[in-house]
């Protein structure tokens, strides 16, 4: 019998915490999103839709997934209210919009504009970013920049049209490349590219992707494939690890660990790319959530498209803000629900724990 190593704490149990729980008595009297392990959430990831116009085989089946009904999805006004609450009352300083594919959200520019008008407790503007597959970005990048969006992360796993079509089940590589150029032209910098290497599919492209990114002026980040597929077929043994990625890059590039900087809450470990004379050519990052987790410094809180707070990508529990909001809860009540959710955050995802409980929702429904 083969053991499949997937990754969430086995203490978690499916379920959803609802309204009316009240603040835990052991929680300090502070407005911020604290947890019991000394972390404070400052970075909010907001999923704007569970829908996507690609069908990446490690994310969803060819026919897609059962999408949320329109009435289940937060309205633009509801998104803005909850984001405003997070910034004004809960100490959030950064907001990243995700999906599904967030460019499918018609009101995206208005939501971004409302977010960038917010100010943190010390009067600083909110840092805003967008994670996208890049399709449609070329025609919307200018409007997003005008709305105040700071930068974009574009997902791209291969530079080969045939492989792109095989991975995504769509022939849209040219559109993604156009989107990257459009983002750069609009000043949404630094433009970051997120790539997942898949064993036997594109795991020979690490150096090609970095060479291309350096030439184009993009910042490349490799991401270990995570156990968030809807069919539960992920196997750790099939994942291309950070060690393998770095070994492939070092065969063709000189990588120097960036000195004087700790990764902290940043998910990527970063290396400078230098030539034989030591001149800086750019950098490359590896997000190794499985083999080199950064849970101890995690500063994220997540809001799904249907208004559920998640404390971790791998959570099997959620806290429902949407129903509380629609039932007339005031901001103080919503804030306390959010604080209570984050106070219960577990110390780590324990990806290598054999007692895996698969998250109840796939990545497209959670938000990247």
Annotated binding site: 45, 52, 56, 58-59, 96, 100, 131, 155, 192, 226, 295, 298, 300-302, 312
Confidence at residue 45, expressed as pLDDT on a 0 to 100 scale: 97
- Give which of 303, 328, 289 is closest to 82, Cα–Cα: 303
- pLDDT, tens digit (0-9, with 9 covering 90-100), for 191-205: 999 999 999 999 999
Share of the chain above pLDDT 90, in %: 70
Q: Binding site for S-adenosyl-L-methionine: residue ranges?
A: 58, 100, 155, 226
pLDDT tens digits, residue range 308-340? 999 988 787 899 999 999 999 999 999 999 999
Annotated binding site for GTP: 45, 96, 131, 192, 300-302
Whole-prediction pTM value? Answer: 0.88
Do 20 and 336 form a contact (C-beta atoms < 8 A)?
no
Q: Is pLDDT of 180 > 70? A: yes
Nearest 5°: the CA angle 286, 105, 233 is 45
Read off φ and ψ for residue 96, nearest 5 degrees: -115, 130
Residue 267: pLDDT above 80?
Answer: no
User: pLDDT-derived band of residue 18, with 50, 70 and 90 as boundaries?
Assistant: very low
Binding residues for [4Fe-4S] cluster: 52, 56, 59, 295, 298, 312
């Amino acid at each position: 019998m083969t053991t499949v190593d997937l990754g969430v704490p086995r203490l978690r149990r499916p379920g959803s915490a609802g309204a009316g729980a009240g603040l835990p008595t052991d929680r300090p009297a502070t407005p911020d999103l604290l947890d019991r392990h000394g972390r404070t959430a400052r970075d909010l990831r907001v999923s704007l839709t569970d829908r996507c116009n690609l069908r990446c085989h490690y994310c969803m089946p060819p026919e897609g997934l059962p999408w949320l009904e329109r009435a289940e999805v937060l309205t633009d006004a509801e998104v803005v209210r909850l984001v405003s609450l997070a910034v004004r009352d809960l100490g959030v300083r950064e907001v990243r919009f995700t999906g599904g594919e967030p460019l499918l959200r018609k009101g995206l520019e208005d939501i971004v504009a409302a977010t960038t008008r917010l100010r943190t407790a010390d009067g600083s503007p909110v840092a805003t970013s967008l994670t996208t597959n890049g399709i449609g970005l070329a025609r919307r990048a200018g409007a997003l920049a005008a709305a105040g969006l700071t930068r974009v992360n574009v997902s791209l796993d291969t530079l080969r049209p045939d492989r792109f079509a095989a991975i995504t089940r769509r022939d849209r590589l040219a559109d993604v490349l156009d989107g990257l150029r459009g983002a750069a032209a609009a000043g949404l910098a630094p433009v970051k590219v997120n790539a997942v290497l898949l064993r036997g599919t594109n795991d020979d492209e690490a150096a090609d992707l970095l060479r291309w990114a350096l030439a184009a002026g993009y910042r490349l980040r490799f991401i270990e494939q995570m156990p968030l597929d809807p069919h539960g077929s992920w196997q750790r043994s099939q994942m291309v690890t950070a060690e393998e990625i770095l070994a492939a890059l070092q065969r063709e590039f000189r990588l120097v660990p960036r000195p004087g900087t700790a990764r902290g809450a940043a998910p990527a470990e970063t290396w400078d790319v230098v030539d034989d004379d030591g001149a800086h050519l750019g950098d490359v990052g590896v997000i190794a959530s499985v083999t080199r987790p950064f849970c101890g410094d995690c500063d994220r809180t997540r809001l799904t498209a249907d208004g559920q707070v998640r404390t971790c990508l791998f959570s099997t529990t959620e806290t429902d803000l949407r129903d509380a909001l629609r039932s007339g809860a005031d901001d103080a009540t919503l804030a306390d629900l959010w604080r209570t959710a984050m106070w219960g955050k577990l110390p780590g995802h324990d990806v290598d724990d054999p007692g895996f409980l698969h998250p109840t929702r796939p990545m497209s429904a959670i938000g990247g």
